[in-house]
Amino acid sequence: MKLYENISNVLSKENINLATGSMYDYMRNWKEWYAGSVADFHFYTARLANGTTTECERLTMNMAKKLCEDMAKLLWTEKTEINLSNKKATQALWRVLDSNINAFTTNFPIFLEKALALGNGALIEYKSSGETIIDYVPGDLFIPYKYNNNYVYGLITISRQSQVNDKNKEEYLTHITYHDFENKIYKIKHEAYKSSDANTLGKKLEFATVFPNIEETTEYKDIDFPYFQIFRLNIANNLEFGSPLAPSMFANSIDRLKSIDMKYDSFMNEFVLGQKRILVDNSTIKAKAVPDENGNINYVNYFDANDKVYVAVEGMEKQPAKEVDFKLRTSEHIEAINAELNWLSDNVGLGEGWYQFDGAGVKTATEVISENSKAFRTRKHLLTNVNDVVYDMVNAICKLENIKTKEISIVNDDSIIEDKNAEKTLALMEVQQGLMSKKKYLMKYEGLTEDEAIEELETIDSEKMSNQELFGFPTEENPDNTPEKAKKEQEEKDKKKEE
């Protein structure tokens, strides 16, 4: 990546040395796979039977995107809860998280998906015009420059935009921000550069003239943590030892992605190449002169020359048209693709059988994830980093917003793991055996509030009626009971229920 090299050279003059360059070359490749369009794989040159060549595009199942989507859904859903020590503080937090500009509920799962694709991502919190803002930064737009093992305490974020100048030439404006946290001091410094070359930073500008509404330097003293967090996949980096950055979720499955797309492209071509053909003599395709009753010559085509089903060949004079119907090898292709999908899903930690190709599309496993499954263990492993990042982000927001709280609670959505039907059946048995109250059952498994559960239990109790009462016979509790009285009482109960 030439721009990265240029940034590295510029920063070296300020005694800032970067040592993670090759990771950004990898990220560029992972980004192409995530987009489903890899220049040196999905576009190729094929040689035809007549010796000429043609440019072809290989079809893709875009499994890199699918993998990241599915893993992100396992890690974070709209049911995940973030709570502080009291209701008022929690409401204040969510006003910031789900403000129009932050849209955390929508943006965080997207951030996670992109971070899984690139292996890394960063969250940055800051104040702007009195409002706390969260920046969701993808892995290829920040560079760690101070780190110890995998702990990053200094990073650079890069923002670039192009514009056309007065001479109708394209220029590139680059905004670089330094985030530095040491000795309980968090410093933020901004720089701006302009270049006519997409691969260089160019000339350094006076920052205030370009971004007058942003303070060039900001400093926070006596704080315990920076207002930025790095999310990285907690898997070993086998591509660049010593780098604080992590590889993509599918970094070690590129060959499998290639194999899947090759088989899928072949599967789709099977329908193109295997279409029915009708062989006819070359002479029959040509228009024939047919005179009408007035002697005028009309040229008539007996076959549509543009119809792909007809193939004109030499040497079939006076022979009837011959139909050629090729046998499609769909089942062989589907079987081969499913074998590759099993290998891929197992390699990224989802386990075999996660995906199933049926010829129309890829289906994802919908059954409950058991606690001994590979997908469950992978999810639990990755959630450690996800929850740490969210915890530190919430802590930073609370400091910036002066929200007082004694604790931060993150409750992940485990509905994808728990077998609700089996759990509900077990809970009913516990109620019958007196090990769980009916009120607790209604609240936990029927979703009622405490007041609603109490009201429901009172209604159930009032509707209980013995057979004697039901048919109007006197009972010990109701010795004056008669059929007429029982009927009248039942009508009054029904009337109250309707009201």
Condensed to tens digits (0 to 9), the pLDDT of residues 202-231 reads 899 999 999 998 899 999 999 999 999 999
181 and 130 housed in the same domain: yes
pLDDT tens sequence across 397-420? 999 999 999 999 999 887 766 555
391 domain-assigned:
no
Assign 3-class secondary structure to the chain: CHHHHHHHHHHHCCCCCCCCHHHHHHHHHHHHHHHCCCHHHHEEEEECCCCCEEEEECCCCCHHHHHHHHHHHHHCCCCCEEEECCHHHHHHHHHHHCCCCCCHHHHHHHHHHHHHHHCEEEEEEEEECCEEEEEEEEHHHEEEEEEECCEEEEEEEEEEEEEECCCCCEEEEEEEEEEEEECCEEEEEEEEEEECCCCCCCEEECHHHHCCCCCCEEEECCCCCCCEEEEECCCCCCCCCCCCCCCCCCHHHHHHHHHHHHHHHHHHHHHHHCCCEEEEEHHHHCCEEEECCCCCEEEECCCCCCCCCEEEECCCCCCCCEEECCCCCHHHHHHHHHHHHHHHHHHCCCCCCCEEECCCCEEECCCCCCCCCHHHHHHHHHHHHHHHHHHHHHHHHHHHHCCCCCCEEEECCCCCCCCHHHHHHHHHHHHHCCCCCHHHHHHHHCCCCHHHHHHHHHHHHHHCCCHHHHCCCCCCCCCCCCHHHHHHHHHHHHHHHHC
Q: Can you give the pTM of this predicted structure?
A: 0.74
- In a shared domain, residues 168 and 303: no
C-alpha distances in Å from residue 141, one per residue of 11, 122, 158, 160, 415: 16, 9, 5, 9, 34
Residues 106 and 10 occupy one common structural domain: yes
Predicted local distance difference test score (pLDDT) of residue 112: 97
86 in a domain, yes or no? yes
- Residue finishing a domain among 250, 265, 287: 250
Please say if the pLDDT value at position 345 is more than 90: yes
**171 lies in some domain:** yes
State how far the alpha carbon of 145 is from the alpha carbons of 22, 131, 157, 238, 479, in Å: 14, 28, 11, 20, 88
Residue 66 pLDDT exceeds 70: yes
* Domain presence at residue 393: no
User: Which of the listed residues 293, 310, 325 is the one where a domain comes to its end?
Assistant: 325
The total of structural domains in the chain comes to: 3
What pLDDT, on a 0 to 100 scale, did the predictor assign at position 266?
87
* Residue 21, in any domain of the structure: yes
Q: In the prediction, which pLDDT does 232 show? A: 94
* Strands 408-411, 81-84: pairing kind: antiparallel
Q: Are residues 164 and 297 in the same domain?
A: no
Indicate whether 368 pLDDT > 60. no
Label the pairing between strands 277-281 and 322-324.
antiparallel
For position 97, what pLDDT does the model report? 96
Residues in the chain, how many?
Answer: 499
Task: Report residue 345 as tokens.
Answer: 């899903």
Final residue in a domain of this structure, among 325, 360, 386: 325
d(CA 259, CA 250): 14
Pair 84, 172 in one domain: yes
| Per-residue pLDDT at 49 | 56
Confirm whether 136 is domain-assigned: yes
Residue 202: the pLDDT is: 87
Same domain, yes or no, for 121 and 242? yes
Locate 427 and state its tokens: 């809970």
* pLDDT for the residue numbered 280: 67
Do 103 and 184 lie in one domain? The reply is yes
What's the confidence (pLDDT) of residue 29? 96
Q: Which residue has the higher pLDDT, 392 or 368?
A: 392
pLDDT computed for residue 54 by the predictor:
84
Residues 316 and 451 in one domain: no
Q: How confident is the model at residue 465 (pLDDT cuts 50, 70, 90)?
A: low
Mean pLDDT of the region 237-245: 90
Q: Is the pLDDT of residue 455 over 90?
A: no
pLDDT of residue 490: 67
User: Is residue 301 located within the same domain as residue 449?
Assistant: no
Q: Which whole-number Å values give the CA distances from 202 to 6, 160, 173, 216, in the listed order?
A: 9, 12, 9, 19
Spell out the residues 6+ positions from residue 44 whose beta carbon is closer than 8 angstroms to its own: 55, 56, 58
149 has pLDDT over 90: no
Kindly give the pairing relationship between strand 170-182 and strand 185-195.
Answer: antiparallel
The pLDDT value given to residue 447: 74
Phi, psi of 72 (to 5 degrees): -65, -40
Tokens of 437: 């109250």
Backbone angles phi, psi at 428, to 5 degrees: -60, -40
What's the mean pLDDT when you consider all of the chain? 83
Q: What is the pLDDT averaged over residues 472-490?
A: 59
If asked whether residues 220 and 308 sit together in one domain, one would say no
243 and 160 within one domain = yes
State the average pLDDT over residues 346-360.
87
Confidence of residue 312 (pLDDT cuts 50, 70, 90): low
At residue 220, the pLDDT reads 92
| pLDDT tens figures, 97-134 | 999 999 999 999 999 999 999 999 999 999 988 899 99
Would you state the pLDDT for residue 323? 63
- Which range of residues forms the domain containing residue 321? 276-325
Residue 426 is assigned to a structural domain of this protein: no
Mean pLDDT of 156-178: 88
Instruction: State whether 227 and 304 are in the same domain.
Output: no
For residue 379, tell me if it sits in a domain.
no
Most confident stretch, 178-182, 295-299, 368-372: 178-182
The residue with greater pLDDT, 428 or 386, is 386
